[in-house]
Amino acid sequence: MCSPIRRSLPLSWLPWPVAVVVVQTVSVFALLVIMNRSAVLLDGARLEHRRLMLWAAVLLWCEPVHHTLDLGQVNLVLAAIALSAAALPAGRPVLAGGGVGIATGMKLTPAVTSVYLLVAGRRKAALWSLAAFGMTLAIGWLVAPRESARFWLGLLWDTGRVGSVMSVRNQSLPGVLARLTGQDTGLGLLWCACAMLVLGTAVFAGYRATRRSDRLGVLLVVQLTGLMLLPISWSHHWVWCIPALMWLAAPTNRTHLAARLALAAWTLAAGTSLVPHLATAQNALTPGDDYPRLLAWLGTAYCVCGSLRCSPSGTPRSIKLALFWSQVVRTRRTRARAPLPDRCWPRLRRAGAPAVAGRDIERPSTVALSAGGCAAIRF
């Protein structure tokens, strides 16, 4: 960036220590906004002061939050804008859509919020977000035409300029696949298959949350799916763990086993600084060595947490189906197959298993199983 443009930025007018204080203060305030807006989407009311301070004291230690503060990133501010737009009444499309569009102009990751606006039936707000984003593009081209052309026509598609896809700090699906396979798979067949699985479960999870009028659940499905499918999703991008933890800890959700398991997974992934420790281990590797399998599997932490979709009916039905099909596979490997006891069939019916051996069992509306028989727990 040339010096005239740098001097036109507001923070460049301030002394460095003052600019640091301003950025940190705005980010911490944005954290409070995130918690309050999440509570509004969840329960229809803001958190009382004591609960707000308690949540803030806990969530400040989450790795995406303190990593954002360490780097001076704007992820907390962008998440606060997206949540505020989602919490606004449907009768204020200009403010909601304009906020999302301006946030997208600051950083492209909030663009997925427009998908939430469309899912929520707020088409005017989605159009206003597109218009506001176009306005930020026009201003950028007017102020810095050369730099804008260089970014939008070239650098935008060069993900390698921001770091290696195989870095364990990249917690997106392409990063996970690159570390598991030992090479950058790009947008190949493997990525497409996994992306279709993620999108399929996300669509169904969003549909279920919409039927329950769970606005925060729908927004989390959209945001976490976007983070998973992006080419690069650094760990500090995953500040959406804040509303996810609040959603899982809500009294209406935490009574279910699936929600408690997901809450424990998020706590271990985001609350123990797992990714920084893995990054330290990765930096100690000798160039040319095979990527350690244990390090690769531990590096799937945020993607695994992002794919946890908790069923409101208790134990995730997809897990029951996975166990059912694994039992079927094991049974078929033997010549003599003993029939299942009659007491098992009502359980399979509640799990949504398809008809087997002439039993009249209701077919499930969706089966979120991967080729290996793994299940994605649905929101």
Q: Give the DSSP per-residue string, 121-153.
A: T-HHHHHHHHHHHHHHHHHHHHH-HHHHHHHHH
| Whole-number pLDDT of residue 374 | 33
Burial 352-363 (b: 16+ CB within 10 A, else e): bbeeeeeeebee
Calculate the CA dihedral of residues 277, 279, 280, 284 and round it to 10 degrees.
140
pLDDT (average), residues 150-166? 82
The predicted-structure confidence for 217-241, as pLDDT tens digits, reads as follows 999 999 999 999 998 999 999 999 9
pLDDT (average), residues 24-53? 93
Check pLDDT > 90 for residue 335.
no
Of residues 39 and 335, more confidence is placed in: 39
The dihedral built from the CA positions of residue 53, 76, 112 and 374, taken in this order, carries a sign that is negative
The predicted-structure confidence for 284-297, as pLDDT tens digits, reads as follows 888 777 888 999 99
| Whole-number pLDDT of residue 45 | 86
User: CA–CA separation, 172 vs 237, rounded Å?
Assistant: 10
pLDDT (average), residues 295-308? 90
Which pLDDT band, with edges at 50, 70 and 90, does 4 fall under? low
pLDDT (average), residues 75-93? 93
Chain position carrying tokens 């919409």: 210
In percent, the amount of the chain with pLDDT more than 70 equals 79
| Whole-number pLDDT of residue 31 | 96
What pTM, to 2 d.p., does this model score?
0.78
| Whole-number pLDDT of residue 239 | 95
Best CA proximity match to 357, nearest among 341, 374, 368: 341
The predicted-structure confidence for 118-134, as pLDDT tens digits, reads as follows 998 899 999 999 999 99
Which pLDDT band, with edges at 50, 70 and 90, does 3 fall under? low
The dihedral built from the CA positions of residue 178, 240, 229 and 269, taken in this order, carries a sign that is positive
pLDDT (average), residues 134-162? 86
Tell me the average pLDDT of the chain. Answer: 80
Which pLDDT band, with edges at 50, 70 and 90, does 326 fall under? very low
Calculate the CA dihedral of residues 95, 97, 102, 108 and round it to 10 degrees.
150
Token pair of 48, please? 């009382």
SS3 content of the chain, % helix, strand, coil (to 5): 70, 0, 30
Which pLDDT band, with edges at 50, 70 and 90, does 309 fall under? low
Which pLDDT band, with edges at 50, 70 and 90, does 115 fall under? very high
pLDDT (average), residues 69-96? 93
